[in-house]
Chain A
Amino acid sequence: MSEHILQTKNLSYSYPDGTTALDDINVNIKRGQTTAILGGNGAGKTTLFLNLNGVLKPSSGNVIYGGKSIEYSKKGLTALRQAVGLVFQDPDHQLFSASVYQDVSFGPMNLRLSEEIVRKRVEESLIKTGIYDLKDKPTHCLSFGQKKRVAIAGVLAMEPEVLVLDEPTAGLDPKGVGEIMRLLKEMQQDLGFSIIIATHDVDIVPLYCDYAYVLDEGKVAMEGSPNEVFSKAELLRNLHLRLPRIAHLMEILRKNDDFEIGNFASTISQARKEIKRWRENLRLVNK
């Protein structure tokens, strides 16, 4: 088993009208990790995802799953779509059935599994996503956050190795954002799948992600661990993004207020640690 579950090699994609959406993308997704794809609007995140799932076929370059280049045959695509599950940004673009139960069963049914197994998987993913109580409700009576969970359950029921989510937190209230992200991390611990999320919500990246790519105009502009990426503030701002709020605060403290803070911090707990350390140092100096 290779360390990387999903990779792209020199992936380029142009839309039929000639616009280049992706240009020479090299992305390596590590097994069992959470990878963020950052980028402003129109940076190519969604197009990249459609390529990862085989809905779009690269104009040049490869998508490599589990060390093998993917085949665009019917069999190859079915296998890929089972292994790489895609959750779309707007659940109304994904939920096609008025019944929650039916919609969740759609993916596993397409895998030609027996009815018994499909039922088991549907029930399990409804329980895991915390929406078992909604199984009898019609889709159009659900709230946005609930629909989002149904969309995730529908992909989860296919038991993917990689869960790809396009803007999972967009349109959710602050509580909903926390709940969805914690839910994903819990399921990741239980089931061991890898997660890729596209987002421009930079605050969630240092909290939940292990690695980050920044896309700009179809190219990979930056990559690294969240702290590596966020330590290059100027570059990030040129790419229509910003620092997480905490990282921004720490930057201001360092630059304008003469705080000598050693390590880079982009989450509340990291910042707390650094500020406490700074205070200790100050006390020692004063003594």
Chain B
Amino acid sequence: MINIDTFAYNSKLKDRDPMEKLLFTFVTLSVCLWANSIIISLTVLLIMTWSTIYGGGIPRTVYFKLLLIPMVFLIFGVLAVAIEITPQPYEFLGSISFFNFYLGVSKAGLITATQLFFRALGAVSCLYYLSLNTPMIDVMSALRKLRCPKLLVEMMSLIYRFIFIFITTAETMIIAQSSRLGYSRFMSGYRSLSLLISSIFIRSYQQADKIYTSLESRGYDGELNVLEKSKGYISTGYLKVLGINVFLVILTFII
């Protein structure tokens, strides 16, 4: 997770208007889900991969490793769709008998499974485009502009900030515990973990208290009003989003 975060801050597309990237991601994602065709899904996968690797400058190896993560779930999910269990062997391309049942793959099942596989992969590539090229702060500022409930965005931004403090605290505590052999045996490890969790809870509570005090001293009145750095708005960017998606929709109808 932290890795994705660092890549987003180093992406070449970092300073692009976040709204454009958000739109590009979700419109293309919707088209990919709606079209439900292997060609469209592959095109989306290609466009998104190209934009992320060449546009954003994300290292190729990192990107493909990241794509492997959902692959495990995808393969198992797709297998469940492709393989059918029936009492009679019917329309199967190949099957094995299994007591009174037949395990087999039909042509229709295979097509559905492949479609599903590429559709999901295309969708994942859209989301990777967003998360690898857009710092979280920008996503939140775009959500704010989209009139997402203020409370929600404020919570998101606080959670995002404190995840990192939380991780550092937990890390230091785990190191301190293991340096005193806290995790050397199973039982002591068990005990150390419970101590870790309870003290992290107490720390978080204290942290919340302190941050509230410091916000109050800067005039907090119930709303976290902040200004964002203005990002360049380029209309050609939006035109590109529109163009690509119109092309995809037309392509769907032609096929």
A interface list, Cβ under 8 A from B: 50, 53, 55, 74, 77-78, 81-82, 85-86, 88, 90, 92-99, 101-103, 105-107, 109-111, 115, 118-119, 122, 135-141, 154-155, 158
Contacts and interface: CB of A to CB of B under 8 A. Distances in A.
Given A137-B9, A138-B137, A55 B227 contact: no
B97 interface: no
B161 interface: yes
Q: Interface majority SS on B: helix, strand, loop or mixed?
A: helix
A77 B221 CA distance: 11
B218 A110 contact: yes
Interface of B: 5-6, 9, 14, 135-137, 157-158, 160-161, 164-165, 207, 210-211, 213-221, 224-229
A96 B228 contact: no
B227 A96 contact: no
A115 B207 CA distance: 30
A94 B214 contact: yes
Given A78-B219, A95-B161, A110-B221, A103 B137 contact: no
Contacts of B157: 97-98, 102
B225 A106 contact: yes
A277 to B, nearest CB: 47
A139 B161 contact: yes
Given A96-B161, A141-B9, A158-B218, A101 B211 contact: no
B229 A96 contact: no
Contacts of A105: 226-227
Contacts of A118: 227
Given A102-B226, A106-B215, 5 more contacts: A81-B219, A101-B228, A118-B227, A139-B161, A158-B218
A96 B215 contact: yes
For the complex of A and B, the 8 pairs showing the least CB-CB separation, nearest first, are A110-B219, A140-B164, A105-B227, A109-B225, A102-B226, A93-B210, A86-B217, A107-B218
Nearest to A151: B214
A95 B225 CA distance: 14
Given A102-B137, A138-B9, A109 B207 contact: no
A221 to B, nearest CB: 26
Contact of B228 (A88, A93, A102): A102
B227 A88 contact: no
A109 B226 contact: yes
Contact of B219 (A92, A94, A111, A115): A111
A96 B207 contact: no
B17 to A, nearest CB: 15
Contacts of A155: 218
Contact of B220 (A50, A82, A95, A110): A110
Contacts of A154: 218
A92 B165 CA distance: 8
Q: Which of B5, B6, B216, B219 has the most CB of A within 10 A?
A: B219
Contacts of A90: 210
Most buried by A among B214, B220, B224: B214
Given A106-B224, A109-B225, A137-B9, A97 B161 contact: yes
Contacts of B215: 96, 106
A38 to B, nearest CB: 22
Contacts of A135: 229
Contact of A86 (B6, B214, B220): B214
Nearest to A155: B218
A52 to B, nearest CB: 10
Nearest to B221: A110
A99 B8 CA distance: 14
Nearest to B162: A96
B219 A136 contact: no
Contacts of B207: 92-93
Nearest to B214: A94
Given A109-B227, A137-B9, A81 B218 contact: yes
Nearest to A106: B226
13 contacts: A55-B216, A92-B165, A96-B215, A96-B224, A97-B161, A106-B224, A106-B226, A107-B218, A109-B225, A110-B221, A115-B227, A136-B9, A139-B161
